[in-house]
A = this chain, B = another copy of it.
Amino acid sequence: MPDALTQDDLPALALGCAVLGTGGGGDTSVEELAAHLALEACGSVPLLRLDELDPGDLVLPLSMIGAPTVASEMVGSGREAAAVRELAEHTTGRRVAAVMPTEIGGANGLAAVTWAAQLGLPLVDADGMGRAFPELPMVSFHVAGLRSEHLFLADTLDNRAVLQPRDAGWAERWARALCVASGSQALLCDCLLTPADEHAVIPGTVSHARRLGRAIRSADEPLTALVATLGAHLLISGTIDDLARDTHEGFVRGQVTVGGRGSNHGRRVSIDVQNENLVAREDARVLASVPDLITVCDTATAIPLATEALAYGQRVSVLAWPCHPLWRSPEGLAVAGPQAFGYRHPYRPVPHTERHATA
């Protein structure tokens, strides 16, 4: 029986997207409600692999861009996805046959279900990041060398744009400029895909997110289950004892520090944030760094915490695990390695755990 996403899948999917959000990608709770409404209307959204589509079909990867703190306060019009599809079909003269999340991590992974439901289209079980990243060029399409001739953008007020930037850097600058002008929130398709572009996506990430959420929800020891399902390293368990955040130019930037408890007493792990958790350090030593994934979870429930949901004194655990191999390629590191975020430290891959390596 072909796979599909139903309302029953949404709580697990929301948790999984939040885990892969690595602190960013926006709070999933509003998008979970929106997805419930959309699936209530349409029943379910078929979940397909890219190669199950017809060769002539267009796939519409979609993501909201902007500040996560704004996303949880400014609700969309519900017309953005139709606007972007219309721009894409009018510009190319071709039919859009499926939606794909550009960014599985955070609110965007979940919102893609809503967009697919609104358009009456299936969802491709893949995304362009395998996680969340703060900038447009940090996407597998770009790393794999796909050239996005047009970008399609719609805001919550029915403003629409077709952009033809000269390169990925200008795509980011122009889309970000429109997004900030529109209140730091807009829906974007930054690269149309075809079924031939399988090398340019991170496959299976929608069902992976659902699996992560199920592990958290069904286990007696949710943190242990999540660590095992992810193949993650537990960097520290403790309490948040320092927290600084600032929303500026469409980004949330800041730093969070976790002080160890119990056997970890005296240890302190600090995490740099630019929408997502970028680098985890203990003293001067880098424990984990982009493009590898770092997530802060509630220690008791393993519920992953978005940057804007963190609070002083919270009991949290910090997990880190390896990114998709595409991000460890020279092209991937150039786009989303430490240097791409302005850091000087060399990238040292978070090792695969034994369990994960043999899974």
Contact = CB atoms under 8 A, between A and B. Distances in A.
A174 B181 contact: yes
A137 to B, nearest CB: 14
A170 B159 contact: yes
Contact of A166 (B159, B166, B173): B159
A163 interface: yes
A83 to B, nearest CB: 9
A164 B177 CA distance: 15
A162 interface: yes
Contact of A165 (B159, B170, B173, B180): B159
Interface string A160-189: 111111100010011011101110000000
A219 interface: no
Q: How large is the interface on A (under 10, 10 to 19, 20 to 34, 35 or more residues)?
A: 10 to 19
A159 B113 CA distance: 32
A157 interface: yes
A158 interface: yes
Contacts of A163: 159-161
A201 to B, nearest CB: 26
Contacts of A181: 173-174, 176-177
17 contacts: A157-B166, A157-B170, A159-B165, A159-B166, A159-B170, A159-B174, A160-B164, A161-B161, A161-B162, A161-B174, A173-B181, A173-B182, A174-B182, A176-B181, A177-B177, A177-B180, A177-B181
